[in-house]
A and B are shown apart, each in its own frame.
Chain A
């Protein structure tokens, strides 16, 4: 250590200046750390606000105000010979009149009629058709209350606002309270949200059409994109020669993954609907468009899964005399399958939440019955949410939030399945 003999270098800065500098540098370090914490809290805080608003707005739609009404099915209104042709409007009118104090004038009678959902007569008709023996007697049904009374019951319409600013009149509140006093009002779980199709009346609008439409679209998407994607990926990863042509295909796939989804909608509209003449609003077209969007995802995950299979497997198979295709199809692909499935489910979850391309091919139509097949007009979950979000009725706000919660529930389940598959089936080499 010859340095020991060197003369001591005098410090450039005084001790105090060094301490100040150190403090400044540490403060800078602290600041950067603080910015990070702020950024993360902002991101997570926003996520929390998002979920909280949805939950706060949506939980109400999971219960529905019902009113128990005794419908007198008189033979004068409904003839036993042909119950389908009965005057059920009148039946409902009589039932409501019996329920409430007599109306003073026609306007009041009309207001009374608004207490039940507008489709009540069809509920009664269906119940009578299912059980014709009730004709001549009394039929007791739990009927959904109209939207404004549902909101009154749930507290969304506040009683302390002045009558002029409120959508229910004081008289209507009094009638409703009378019904509550009679014990006729209940708020059971809203099964209609899952089993009814769309409707103009919020109180009976449900998601069954949208769920069926999304199911068919995803089915088409899976049936097309899964085999095609795997075949393409196997070829590109294992068999394709490295030349300009395969380079082009790869660049293409990477770019397709980043094309805005609405452009796929334009493609679907111009090619599938305009050129091929497939029906508008059909889950088939929606599924085809979603399949084209999911294809790059599936190709990319399949290639990664194939890459992850160790070369020893291939070499062993080659050593046993397998042909190149036998090596891949019999040995490598089955081992890569869990990874492929995981990626596919995540790709399908993305497709389930995709809205914009479905709007362009008309899956935002107003359709009041679930589709019976892939060629029938239908909506999908995200487009149904968009329709409801666009509806002016106040009651649809809660429905929209509830629809979003249902959609998020499906996404959560799909992702949970993917994670489960990854943990249970994927092998580490």
Chain B
């Protein structure tokens, strides 16, 4: 029904466009003073009046129909069924009714349920037809309003342009709404979480054992929500990644800018872009399949106790992932240094290495530092590599051969499977998400401010 209705709206607004345009053309053909707008704008004006109100109406209807029918149905149920039931039990009842209505019958339902299912089916059917009727009425009304406004002196173009402006503004506000949505959902669920676990315990507690029971019949730990080991593990893996990526990235950029010829660059640059385009799940699989066993073997040869999912494996692979990121940002920063500085140094007889290390790199340092901060924020927020290659148990260690866990790993493990938005286990993921969001946001803002301040010096 919904699909047909959308199609009907599309077809009818197209028809309305032709109606309006024909009217506009008649104004031209009638002679006299020139009409204000081109015929096409008359057409668009009518089409907007026909299509947009109906579309908004249908979308709202679809959004609220389910909730309204559910509320009506609950109100109509006999009191013995609903008396004293909690919201969760009511939900269960509703889904049973809908299952019966949909023909999924596991056990013979009671007469009340059967009756309720019939009611639900009837009401849904009525609602669907009512939606169609209302939408058609809205379109007819729109056609009359739109068509009756058309006249030779009517400023159809102005109306249409006002409408497009409004749509464009709405679209650019969506970006803000997304941020608001992120912050609101994270803060809201985190506040719920901090009702169970005090903030200071979460931020400074040293034990993290979040796998508590969601349903009463599950066997699980008693729970501890001190996130310090998780933060420490995240930092450890991110630092290993930076240790790998920063030197390789910067030296790559230096070589590409200063030494490489056109041919080398035309091979290396696409290769680095390929490295950047590989999905993170692929890196994760690479870490599990190749890197982790290799590190374990090497650790065994050296007589070191190495965990099968060591922080080193995850950090190393994450470092590989970040190399192209750092090299391209360092490349930009080095190229942004004015050529005159470089030429001046070379003219004084400095070698290229001296020019690079004493003149260009110091000048590019703020840009490179900004790039490193951005890369660090990326490493902290990276998920798939650590989900696949790092551990699940939060241990308070900085030994790279041990298994550690990260914020993102914990978010994923807490939210895969059962989720209940009234259990601290599920809500803890949102508290971790809030910390992650704030830290990465802080790093990004800091990095951008460094880069901007530095760019102003040369512009």
Contact = CB atoms under 8 A, between A and B. Distances in A.
Interface of A: 25-26, 28-29, 31-33, 35-40, 42-44, 46-47, 49-50, 53-54, 57, 227-229, 231-232, 234-236, 239-240, 248-249, 252-256, 258-264, 266-267, 269-271, 274, 276-277, 292, 295-296, 299, 323, 325, 329, 349-350, 352-356, 359-360, 364, 382-383, 385-386, 389-390, 397, 400-401, 404, 407-408, 411, 415
Contact of A408 (B250, B282, B433, B448): B282
B88 interface: no
A255 B170 CA distance: 19
Contact of B323 (A36, A43, A263): A43
Nearest to A299: B175
Interface in B150-175: 157, 161, 164-165, 167-175
A262 B408 contact: yes
Interface string B345-361: 00000011110110000
A260 B172 contact: no
A260 B356 contact: no
Contacts of B179: 252, 255-256
B282 A249 contact: no
B252 A36 contact: yes
A332 B94 CA distance: 54
Given A25-B354, A262-B412, A266-B433, A407 B254 contact: no
A57 B161 contact: no
B454 interface: no
Nearest to B160: A325
Interface string B283-317: 11110111000000000000000000000000000
Dominant secondary structure of chain B at its interface with chain A: helix
B182 A263 contact: yes
Contacts of A232: 168, 171-172, 174-175
Given A255-B441, A267-B185, A295-B174, A39 B252 contact: yes
Given A266-B186, A267-B181, A231 B408 contact: no
A258 B281 contact: no
A14 B300 CA distance: 55
B111 interface: no
Contacts of B290: 49, 53
A404 B165 contact: no
B412 A40 contact: no
A40 B265 CA distance: 11
A259 B419 contact: no
Nearest to B289: A53
B383 A260 contact: yes
A385 B280 contact: no
Contacts of A255: 179, 441, 444-445
A299 B327 CA distance: 25
Interface of B: 63, 66, 157, 161, 164-165, 167-176, 178-179, 181-182, 185-186, 188-189, 247-252, 254-256, 258-260, 268, 271-272, 274-275, 277-286, 288-290, 320, 323-324, 327, 351-354, 356-357, 374, 377-378, 380-384, 387-388, 408, 411-412, 415-416, 419, 421, 429-430, 433, 436-437, 440-441, 444-445, 448
B251 A38 contact: yes
A269 B289 contact: no
B182 A267 contact: yes
A266 B172 contact: no
15 contacts: A31-B353, A36-B256, A39-B252, A40-B256, A43-B275, A50-B320, A235-B165, A249-B176, A253-B175, A254-B448, A258-B440, A262-B433, A262-B436, A267-B185, A274-B421
A227 B170 CA distance: 12
Contacts of B175: 232, 249, 252-253, 256, 295-296, 299
Contacts of B382: 260
B281 A40 contact: no
Contacts of B384: 355-356, 382, 386
A295 B178 contact: yes
A353 B255 contact: no
A64 to B, nearest CB: 21
Given A270-B185, A359-B415, 13 more contacts: A36-B255, A39-B252, A40-B268, A47-B274, A54-B282, A235-B169, A255-B445, A259-B182, A260-B436, A262-B408, A262-B436, A353-B279, A360-B411
